């Protein structure tokens, strides 16, 4: 396939030029100002549309896809921990195999419609643990996206639930990997994990040569709990248990100190910043100035990385940060760096030899679009309504605003029915 007449922009470093891209199989095999079609080649004339690398959502919860519009608790939660207890831990217990599968389909469809091609998911379904990651992989791969999956290990459902969580991570890491899907070891958060549980997770990390995906210091309650449990800070607790390794994903980090963040990142960890979620849960302002190896996550809200980047920018400005513009752009770029490292592929590049993971946007800028001002267009001009087509590994999963891989209307109809069942079970739990 030949994509021609596009403005091709990459973010790391900013580069903007008119170019054609030749796709063969999963890969971009040629790039030039104007490539001539080969015999029998399908030509897609993009008529000046903007092509960017597909976006990366570095922390999400696909299982929350059926939560939209669900009835809230009788009494509004008064704290972060009450939000978990009254909302999310009731929802995840109500999930069964069908609702996990449909959540995966719905979440992946919305990601494709947002130009997001890689999802780092953190999954929980305590009533359906064994086989849940394979179910999620089936859904995400049916839509056609890349993902990095893990199961959220926690003590909150008893030792049986904890052991099943560890086992699910291990089983998926042993057999679940495919061209589009990788595994990690998932953990909820320090405040729901005893020392023994952290040791089990560390063994799984060591045995599988994977890394940990964990919520850290999202709320101050996690910091207070860690002090009481171990007499240390959160980073030190993870480090003592051998859980701070290359590409450990520390999600949120709102209440970590600067020195803790620097230590963690020096050990190879990534910080995943979720500014919209932090606002939604009123957990505070993340110390973004100490975020060096950082990517953006939506924490289950959706997979709209342009919206997340814009809010990251606005929230940093709101907190008085003067270099927020460059910092927010760098956080979006961080997703590509993280995904490239995880998959061992040059994701984020649109040159010959790079995977054909890209998004086509119907974006006609009202002002010049250059390498110097690309960040301004990304943070203030683009939004997901511009997404026309999304390609993953050479396959157009969204083409001219239509899903090519699944019957979207049928999925949404099934999801609405399943959501009613989930909400009813939540009431009865
Ligand atoms: Zn989360």
Question: Quick check: bond before 154 cis, omega within 30?
Answer: no
Q: Which candidate, 220, 73, 61, 197, places its Cα nearest to that of 132?
A: 61
Beta bridge partners of 60: 121
The neighbouring-strand residues paired with 142 are: none
- Contact between 226 and 234 under an 8 Å Cβ cutoff? The reply is yes
Q: How far apart are CA 28 and CA 215, in angstroms?
A: 36
Give me ligand 1 centre to Cα 183, in Å.
17
What's the confidence (pLDDT) of residue 48? Answer: 87
Mean pLDDT over 331-350 rounds to 98
Q: Report how far ligand 1's centroid is from the alpha carbon of 161 (Å).
A: 19
Using the mean position of ligand 1's atoms as its centre, give its distance from the Cα of residue 244 in Å: 18
Residue 110 and residue 11: Cα distance in Å, rounded? 23
Calculate how far, in angstroms, residue 40's C-alpha sits from the geometric centre of ligand 1: 46
Tens digits of per-residue pLDDT, 151-192?
999 999 999 999 999 999 999 999 999 999 999 999 999 999
> Structure tokens of 401?
């605003």
Under 8 Å between Cβ of 398 and 389? yes
pTM: 0.97
Please give the distance, rounded to the nearest whole angstrom, from the Cα atom of residue 114 to the centre of ligand 1: 19
DSSP character string of 80-103: HHHHIIIIIHHHHHT--HHHHHHH
Query: How much distance in Å is there from the Cα of 59 to the middle of ligand 1?
Result: 6
Q: What is the DSSP letter of 75?
A: S
Rounded CA gap, 78 and 303, in Å? 27
- Measure 41 CA to ligand 1 centroid, in angstroms: 43
Q: How far is the CA of 251 from the centre of ligand 1 (A)?
A: 7
- Reported as a single tens digit per residue, the pLDDT across 263-278 is 999 999 999 999 999 9
Collect all residues with Cβ–Cβ distance below 8 Å to 127 and sequence separation of at least 6: 93, 94, 95, 96
How many whole angstroms from 290 Cα to the centroid of ligand 1? 20
pLDDT for the residue 74:
85
145 vs 87, higher pLDDT = 145
Q: What is the pLDDT of residue 178?
A: 96
Per-residue model confidence as pLDDT tens digits over 44-63: 999 889 999 999 999 999 99
Ligand 1 center–CA 232 separation, angstroms: 23
- Residue 429 or residue 18, greater confidence: 18
R_g of the chain, CA atoms, integer Å: 21
Res. 129: pLDDT tops 90: yes
Which of helix, strand or coil describes residue 185?
strand
**Distance from the alpha carbon of residue 213 to the mean position of ligand 1, in angstroms:** 10
Pairing of the two strands 185-189 and 212-216: parallel
57 near 111, Cβ under 8 Å?
Answer: yes
How many CB atoms sit inside 10 A of residue 60's CB?
27
> 253 with 291: CB under 8 angstroms?
yes
Instruction: Report the distance separating Cα 357 and Cα 171, nearest Å.
Output: 28
Quote the ligand 1 centre to 407 CA distance (angstroms).
Answer: 29
């Amino acid at each position: 396939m030949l994509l021609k007449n596009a403005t091709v922009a990459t973010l790391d470093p900013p580069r903007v030029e008119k170019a054609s891209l030749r796709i063969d199989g999963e890969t971009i095999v040629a790039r030039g100002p104007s490539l001539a079609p080969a015999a029998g080649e399908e030509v897609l004339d993009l008529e000046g549309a903007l092509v960017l690398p597909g976006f990366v959502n570095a922390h999400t919860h696909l299982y929350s896809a059926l939560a939209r519009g669900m009835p809230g608790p009788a009494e509004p939660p008064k704290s972060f921990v009450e939000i978990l207890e009254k909302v999310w831990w009731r929802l995840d217990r109500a999930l069964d195999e069908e609702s996990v599968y449909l959540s995966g389909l719905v979440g992946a469809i919305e990601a494709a419609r947002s130009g997001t091609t890689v999802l780092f998911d953190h999954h929980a379904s305590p009533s359906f643990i064994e086989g849940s990651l394979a179910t999620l992989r089936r859904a995400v791969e049916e839509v056609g996206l890349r993902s990095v999956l893990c199961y959220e290990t926690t003590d909150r459902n008893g030792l049986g639930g904890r052991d099943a969580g560890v086992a699910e991570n291990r089983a998926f890491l042993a057999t679940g990997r495919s061209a589009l899907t990788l595994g990690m070891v998932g953990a909820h958060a320090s405040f729901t994990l005893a020392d023994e549980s952290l040791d089990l997770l560390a063994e799984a990390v060591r045995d599988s040569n994977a890394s940990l995906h964990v919520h850290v210091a999202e709320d101050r309650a996690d910091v207070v709990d860690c002090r009481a449990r171990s007499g240390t800070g959160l980073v030190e607790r993870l480090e003592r248990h051998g859980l701070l390794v290359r590409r450990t994903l520390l999600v949120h980090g709102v209440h970590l100190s600067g020195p803790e963040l620097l230590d963690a990142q020096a050990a190879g960890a990534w910080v995943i910043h979720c500014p919209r979620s932090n606002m939604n849960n009123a957990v505070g302002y993340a110390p973004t100035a100490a975020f060096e190896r950082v990517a953006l996550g939506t924490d289950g809200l959706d997979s709209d990385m342009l919206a997340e980047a814009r809010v990251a920018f606005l929230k940093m400005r709101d907190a008085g940060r003067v270099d927020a513009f460059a910092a927010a752009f760098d956080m979006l770029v961080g997703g590509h760096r993280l995904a490239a490292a995880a998959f061992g592929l040059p994701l984020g590049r649109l040159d010959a030899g790079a995977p054909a993971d890209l998004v086509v946007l119907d974006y006609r800028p009202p002002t010049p679009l250059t390498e110097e001002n690309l960040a301004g267009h990304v943070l203030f001009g683009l939004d997901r309504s511009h997404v026309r087509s999304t390609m993953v590994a050479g396959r157009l999963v969204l083409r001219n605003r239509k899903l090519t891989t699944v019957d979207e209307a049928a999925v949404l109809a099934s999801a609405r029915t399943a959501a009613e069942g989930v909400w009813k079970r939540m009431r009865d739990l």
